[in-house]
Amino acid sequence: MSTHKINSGGFQLIQLVMVCAIIGIMAVIGVPVFTRYQPNIKLNAEAKQLISDLRYAQQKTVSEQKIYYIEIDIPGKEYSIIKQETPATPIKTIVLDPEITFQEVSDLTDNKVVFNSFGAVSEAGEIILANSQESIITINIKPSGHIQMLK
């Protein structure tokens, strides 16, 4: 009794070529889509980082019973977490991604978000971030210290 083994090497090569072709097509379609959404991803990330830093300053103020605030430098496209003492001590400075800008900071004297020992703010206001595609995210800061992101 003889058994013949069928050589399927050619069939496997065709499968490999098809898989490579499908991956190539997906890359050609996917790269432009990713490129188009990348500024929005960066905007969202910067807004979340700012909210995180606002909450950090709020938490430090409550836990240490010393005033911390966020100071926004609109032209410099950066903000700093500062401990209010004499002299003021910057804790951390964050520079925004080059594609992200502060479109507007409203109702905050000297562009500062100042927290009190109860976690509330001295002035409510909003910070509007924008990207190169003119998408915006608004960060509302309520008098109670509640921080909210609106897209």
Per-residue pLDDT tens for 43-77? 999 999 999 999 999 999 999 999 999 999 999 99
Domain assignment present for 2: no
Domain assignment present for 4: no
Strand order of the sheet with strand 136-141? 101-106, 125-130, 136-141, 147-150
Domain assignment present for 128: yes
pLDDT recorded at residue 55: 97
How many independent structural domains does the chain possess?
1
Domain assignment present for 43: yes
Domain assignment present for 3: no
Which one, of 112, 124, 139, 131, lies nearest residue 47 by Cα? 139
CB atoms within 10 A of CB 72: 18
pLDDT recorded at residue 5: 59
Q: What is the CATH number of the domain that holds 139?
A: 3.55.40.10
List of the chain residues with pLDDT < 70: 1-11
Q: By residue range, what is the domain housing residue 61?
A: 9-150
